[in-house]
Amino acid sequence: MIQTKREEWEQACSDYPELSPFTLLKLSMVRYGAVLSPNALSRLQDPFYSFGKAEPFGISFEGRTPELSMPGPILLRDGSFVYINYGERFEDPYDIEYHQERGVFLLKENGETLEEVDFVPRPAFFGKKTSRGTPMEALADVRAQKLILTAYQRCRFWEGGDQCHFCAFFTGGHSAGAVNCQDIYETVREAVREPGRFSEIYLSGGSDFGGDPPFETEVERYIQVLQAIGRNFSGRFPSQLMAPAYPKKQLKRIYDQTGVTSYCPNIEVWDENIFRHLCPGKEKWIGHKEWVRRTLDAVEIFGRGQVCTQVIGGVELAKPYGFSSLEEALESNFQACDFFARHGVSYLSVIWHPHKASRLGFQPVPPLEYYIRLAKGLHEIRRSYGLVSTNDDYKRCGNHPDSDLERLDCHAATA
């Protein structure tokens, strides 16, 4: 018997009573996607919600005309943030409609309301420009309480066809290249003026292997951008650099010359053979074993719990290179999480978003049950080692279902 999404969610709440029903709903929403109705999209053009038309990661989405702005993340009643690829094509998405009389957004399936939802308010700095005339929303995005900056709006892995096969970044025709440090300084200065909005700054960008040794150009760029950000603060500031796995010497320079406090070299796929096929650029320029070794070395510089790595949950099952069973895939991820946790590294997951512009294209994603078990298992392993996601929890990031579960740990500890 085929279940509706509501029935599947309710069954999951019954099967996993120790997990928050909102986390389970979030998993379902991200896995299935959501489509905005015309009246919802119209309501979201309001300045309170409208995030703007510029997008710092250059992703092209379907389903809207250029004059329409897209909203930020969806907000559930418990404060959970839900990130949907608006305008993307999904097999069986939820619907989000705006109820004019009640003045609320409704999450629906086949006309039946499941939940009231809302959207993250537009940041106060959106719509403003730097002294050079650059729109600030073209430089930054927001995620929960995290201000996200992009240092290099290209990825050079695409030059030789070595891009990660699941990636759709910088495919929308927008390629600004390196950002201007003065623009970054002014954007951060303006963003942190909004009371209580941001508690951490996150910096990333497309990979640039230029320089001698490789990635030296990128390392210099990150140092300059982090120093520009740091002009807004005294000493170190809550921050995370998401970048390739650098040798210890390069990484030590970044740490010593900037105020950055945490580091995230995302491995994307744990299994070495699948990594080789799906991440050819990372394999070519660094390699799986070296990526892992450098990640562990980073703990000596940043400290236990201040280094993390991320996998694209579900891509390890993508055809033709992926695992043939859910159990194999789960075991691989749990093995990786345990390995990294023993060395003081947090291993986190996000949910795979198939995209037409990626090399893998559209493929069926794993069932909801897989993502529930993955999130639950990763959380339990990290908890057993005493690791807490200080940078990627629901307050700051909200993009990792497994770290969302840490909210219940805090409640249990204070009960």
Residue-wise pLDDT tens digits, 167-217: 887 665 556 689 999 999 999 999 999 999 999 999 999 999 999 999 999
377 dihedral zone (left: phi>0; alpha: psi -120 to 50; beta): alpha
Q: What percentage of the chain has pLDDT greater than the value 90?
A: 73
Find tokens 């959501």 and name the residue.
34
Q: What is the DSSP string of 165-226?
A: TT--TT-SS---EEPPHHHHHHHHHHHTTSTTS-SEEEEE------SSSTTHHHHHHHHHHH
Regions of the chain short of the pLDDT cut 50: 411-415
C-beta of residue 385 within 8 angstroms of C-beta of residue 341: yes
Is 353 within the bounds of a domain?
A: yes
- Number of Cβ atoms within 10 Å of the Cβ of 372: 20
Confidence (pLDDT) at 415:
35
C-beta of residue 383 within 8 angstroms of C-beta of residue 23: no
Closest C-alpha to 392, from 306, 312, 334: 306
Confidence (pLDDT) at 177:
83
Q: What is the pTM of this model?
A: 0.92
Query: Which structural domain range is residue 275 located in?
Result: 136-414
C-beta of residue 376 within 8 angstroms of C-beta of residue 412: no
C-beta of residue 156 within 8 angstroms of C-beta of residue 206: yes
What are the C-alpha distances in Å from 229 to residues 197, 233, 240, 251, 319?
A: 17, 8, 12, 18, 41
Whole-angstrom Cα distance, residue 70 to residue 49? 9
210 in the same domain as 103: no
Confidence (pLDDT) at 413:
39
Beta strands in 93-185 (DSSP E): 94-99, 104-109, 112-119, 140-143, 146-150, 152-153, 177-178
208 in the same domain as 115: no
144 in the same domain as 105: no
76 in the same domain as 181: no
Whole-angstrom Cα distance, residue 122 to residue 69? 11
114 in the same domain as 166: no
Helices (H), 37-192: 38-43, 181-191
CATH of the domain at 265: 3.20.20.70
Domain end position, chosen among 119, 154, 173: 119
349 in the same domain as 237: yes
* Residue 234 three-state SS: coil
Whole-angstrom Cα distance, residue 394 to residue 411? 14
Find tokens 């309170």 and name the residue.
48
98 dihedral zone (left: phi>0; alpha: psi -120 to 50; beta): beta
Is 348 within the bounds of a domain?
A: yes
Per residue in 32-64, pLDDT tens?
999 999 999 999 999 999 887 665 555 555 555
Total count of domains within the chain: 2
Whole-angstrom Cα distance, residue 242 to residue 222? 10
